[in-house]
Amino acid sequence: MRALACSGMASGGQAPARTLDPTPPTIGFYPHDVRHLQGTMPTIGVIGTGSMGRMLIRALIAGGAASPEEVIASSRSAAPLLEIARETGITALGSNRAVAGGADVVFLCVRPSDVRGVLEEVGDCLDADTLLVSIASDVPLSLLAGWTGARLVRVIPSITSAALKGVTLVVRGPNADESDMRVLHSLLGAISTPVECGEDEIEVMTALTSCGPAFFAAFLRECAASAVRTGMLSPERAETAVRETFIGTAALLDGGMETFEEIIDAVATPGGITEAGVQMIGEDLPPLFDRLLQTTITRHAEVKARIGRTG
């Protein structure tokens, strides 16, 4: 763990109080003091233990990127923080400042509208050695850089990291150096395939990688529902058939058949039933997917404008 840098967190200091369960749990909970951790290298900090913060903690540990002793976290509400600390053995701290002052890499996992407030709160704790990783959608580097002087990277995770699969998008900030990127690639590579991208393409990439699991699941749900509407299958049989086939198709992509065309060619005999279906999908789906992507892009623009106005 790096030396504590921020005012109020020096030896014996108290960080600003947070809303915490008055009953300390038996493991991993030290409200305002990280002195006991000195020398044990808890290098990863997570601020905000909502669904993504907790997912990242679990994945980083499961993927072998960090041991529980190397992870410290804080959050606004005590319950989810204490729950993840009990579950994984990480250390829950009583303030964001304690996490920012005690970690080498700080994952900021709060909602976009909360980012500015947290950065102002922890400002003097993020020193030149800290790498700040914001996972907030729609908060561009230009805004982040105006709110903090820390070395910055933007990351868009995907729920697929819960299975140590999928893509994590990485946008390098202007002052992040090669060694920062190596550290980040090593952490994120344990839970996903990290893919660097520019802010000009991040919204389309987000639709594919981070919204993607929900879009694919909605597509699969409609496949099953359509089969049920024929009146010949129960919802359970249809869902099992679709789910297992999707898992099998993903395994093919993972295990040798590298392109979509390869799979289509292997199944769709010229002039056969599958080919007719593939042709219909090619004709009817593009307008839907174009509209879907356009909708996500428009929505991002609205949220970015709001964040830009209000921070």
Ligand X SMILES: NC(=O)c1ccc[n+]([C@@H]2O[C@H](COP(=O)([O-])OP(=O)(O)OC[C@H]3O[C@@H](n4cnc5c(N)ncnc54)[C@H](OP(=O)(O)O)[C@@H]3O)[C@@H](O)[C@H]2O)c1
Instruction: Note the residues at the interface with ligand X (CB under 6 A).
Output: 47-53, 74-77, 80, 96, 109-112, 114, 117-118, 135-137, 156-157, 159, 210
Residue whose structure tokens are 């000195």 = 38
Q: Which residues neighbour 134 within 8 Å (Cβ) at sequence distance 6 or greater?
A: 108, 115, 144, 152, 153, 154, 155
CA atoms within 13 A on the CB side of 60: 31
Is 52 annotated as ligand-binding?
yes
Q: What are phi and psi of 211, to 5 degrees?
A: -75, -25
CB of 161 to ligand X, least distance (A): 10
CB of 75 to ligand X, least distance (A): 4
Separation of alpha carbons 213 and 208, rounded Å: 8
Is 51 annotated as ligand-binding?
yes
CB of 221 to ligand X, least distance (A): 18
The residue sitting closest to ligand X, measured at its beta carbon, is 50
Is 9 annotated as ligand-binding?
no
Which phi-psi region, left, alpha or beta, contains residue 8 (left: φ > 0; alpha: ψ -120 to 50)?
left
Is 11 annotated as ligand-binding?
no
Nearer to ligand X, 18 or 227 (CB): 18
Is 282 annotated as ligand-binding?
no
Nearer to ligand X, 50 or 63 (CB): 50
Which residues make beta-bridge pairs with 108?
Answer: 47, 134
Nearer to ligand X, 181 or 205 (CB): 205
Nearer to ligand X, 4 or 110 (CB): 110
Q: Is 299 helix (H, G, I), strand (E, B) or coil?
A: helix
Annotated binding site for NADP(+): 47-52, 75
